[in-house]
């Protein structure tokens, strides 16, 4: 099938209030066979692998480097995922790009830390990213939206944000920042939070933690 059809089907399910579709998300791109696939977690190499395996969504993570670049890495530190040490926020993009990513068994791959922009470019047309905004990123949401607009990639990403950022996002909107209803997915844990998000933003998608 055309590579774009999976994106269209996924976004239609997300945007439709009557959809009964069940979508599968690959955690950090799906990396249970990362060494066989030559594709460690949260790597550019894993984008095509995620599509080839038939996942609807690529669950990923965004952090910000010391010099203001958005990078794709899960942990607060780079210790587990790369051959470096330290926190992402304390390193420049150049320093991060010199590192190599590790496979699950700890051995080094040839993959490098990717930027969010690289993810949008390489995933456009065949991958929908469910991107978690790590702590502190909600304050830089305007920059993220401007990047998505520049690349015409609103069909490529859904940002998952914590409920404690509701007031900040309401302020973003009051300041004139706009985004499609399916672009932001708040993470809630109870009915009160759920109702507040619906009333405030009328989103087309919400993350609900259940126990």
- CA quadruple 151, 88, 44, 58: dihedral, nearest 10: -80
27 a catalytic residue: yes
Here the tokens at position 52 are 């080839």
CA separation for the pair 99, 95 (Å, rounded): 7
Q: Tokens 């305007």 label which residue?
A: 142
Contact 79, 91 (CB under 8 A): no
Interior angle at CA 205, CA 169 and CA 196, nearest 5 = 50
Query: What span, in angstroms and rounded, lies between the C-alpha atoms of 93 and 71?
Result: 8
Tell me if residue 74 is catalytic: yes
Specify the residue for token string 């420049």: 92
Please tell me which residue in 51, 74, 126, 172 is annotated as part of the active site.
74
Q: Which residues are 64's β-sheet partners? A: 70
The b-or-e profile of 171-190 (16+ CB within 10 A means b, else e) is ebeeeeeebeebbbbbbbee
Question: Do the Cβ atoms of 115 and 71 come closer than 8 Å?
Answer: yes
Selected catalytic residue, list 27, 69, 122, 207: 27
Backbone angles phi, psi at 203, to 5 degrees: -75, 165
Catalytic residues: 27, 74
């Amino acid at each position: 099938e055309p590579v774009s059809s999976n994106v269209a089907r996924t976004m239609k399910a997300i945007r439709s209030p009557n959809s009964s579709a069940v979508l599968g998300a690959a955690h950090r791109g799906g990396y249970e066979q990362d060494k066989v696939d030559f594709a460690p977690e949260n790597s550019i190499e894993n984008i095509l692998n995620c599509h080839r395996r038939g996942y609807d969504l690529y669950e990923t993570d965004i952090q910000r480097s010391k010099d203001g670049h958005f990078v794709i890495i899960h942990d607060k530190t780079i210790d587990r995922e790369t051959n470096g040490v330290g926190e992402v926020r304390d390193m420049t993009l150049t320093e991060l790009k010199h590192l190599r990513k590790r496979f699950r068994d700890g051995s080094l791959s040839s993959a490098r830390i990717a930027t969010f922009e690289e993810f949008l470019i390489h995933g456009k047309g065949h991958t929908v990213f469910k991107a978690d905004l790590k702590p502190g990123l909600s304050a830089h949401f305007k920059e993220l939206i401007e990047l998505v607009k520049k690349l015409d990639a609103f069909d490529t990403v859904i940002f998952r944000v914590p409920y404690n950022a509701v007031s900040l996002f309401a302020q973003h909107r009051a300041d004139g920042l706009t985004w499609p209803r399916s672009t932001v997915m708040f993470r809630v844990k109870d009915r009160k939070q759920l109702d507040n998000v619906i009333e405030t933003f009328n989103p087309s998608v919400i993350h609900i933690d259940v126990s």
